[in-house]
Amino acid sequence: MVGNRESTTMPAANPRRIRVLVVDDSAVVRQVFAHELARDTSIEIVGTAPDPYVARDKIVELKPDVVTLDIEMPRMDGITFLRKLMRHYPLPVVIVSSLTPQGGDLAMEALEAGAVDVMCKPGAAYSVGDMSVELIDKIKAAAHVKVTGEGAKSPRAATSAAPLALTRTTNKVLAVGASTGGTEALVQLLSQMPHNAPGMVVVQHMPEFFTRSFAERLNGISAMEVSEAVDGDRVIPGRALIARGNYHMLLRRSGATYVVQVKSGPLVSRHRPSVDVLFKSVARYAGSNAIGVIMTGMGSDGAQGLQEMRKNGARTIAQDEASCVVFGMPKVAIELGAAERVVPLDQIARTVLSFASTT
């Protein structure tokens, strides 16, 4: 598991704007990004670069807080540049690329190389307006992440954790939501879940075409069967379903069986998929038969949904501040009183299984 980002909390409001460098070989893309990002008063575009060589010089000269980086560029590809950057001049990088089904593996590789987050360029899946909202949020989240360079380990990170034991199979539903920093947090959580763990439904904020590669990665490290969710999939013990990028995932009940509904729709809590959408459906259809977990991430998506879950009798958990990459979503949930327990990342699996075994 890659751990090149130290955990950090969100600092108090600071009037200083976030300095951003846009790196993309397309002059049109550079112009659109610079225009859209500059509309947010908390962001300052300090420069743009058409390739990694120009970007290297501008990073040294301009000292940006965050870099947006394309993957496919001339002279040097974005992932090679990212690895060099993490080794010699580590700073938060958000990958913004035209991700295709084949590009999902590249996105996974970019995260493992040190990128804070990944998103799609405007296209069939995104309008420019949707892209702007999401990119601004990702840049703000990235600005709060302390990047320490390739090979550094996050506090509490577990490189390999043996799955924990669950004494009996349960038909409970485990709903999990995460955003910035969540890809590595989910690796740790899933690596500790036993083969008969409660059926799991997961929303991790990520682009379309990335979620399948991410699910395949999780499937390789977990005793559970992990896959990208398909409409109508059953939620059963030992199976984890990852919400497809750019689609909401909801829990539904068909007789005595839980299934997922995968559907399009507007952004909710500024996201698609939205943790709130998932959690609220779990609150409605599973009630006290559910366990909810909210993990590292910027913003507030999932906090209200977790609150509804708890009001409907579910057991609820929030990741603690010290182990979060960005203490945003869990913080809001805790402030709302939505979290029954607040625990470090390396104790979430154990707490979940304790709830599943005793209730």
Active site residues: 179, 205, 301
Apex CA 255: angle with CA 253 and CA 257, to 5°? 60
Is the separation of the CB atoms in 21 and 59 below 8 Å? Answer: yes
Q: CA-to-CA distance for 148 and 9, rounded, in angstroms?
A: 15
Helices (H) and strands (E) in the chain, counts: 11, 16
Return the residue matching tokens 């958000």: 94
Do 47 and 72 meet the contact criterion of CB atoms below 8 Å apart?
A: no
Q: What is the 3-state secondary structure (H, E, C) of 260-284?
A: EEEECCCCECCECCCHHHHHHHHHH
Handedness of CA 74, 79, 82, 86 (dihedral sign): negative
State the pairing for strand pair 248-254/257-263.
Answer: antiparallel
Separation of alpha carbons 158 and 145, rounded Å: 19
Do the Cβ atoms of 270 and 134 come closer than 8 Å? Answer: yes
Rounded Cα–Cα distance for residues 279 and 269 (Å): 12
Cα separation, 23 vs 110, whole angstroms: 15
Closest to 37 (Cα-Cα) out of 128, 115, 141, 149: 128
**What whole-number distance in Å separates Cα of residue 344 and Cα of residue 337?**
18
> For the chain, what is the radius of gyration of the CA atoms?
20
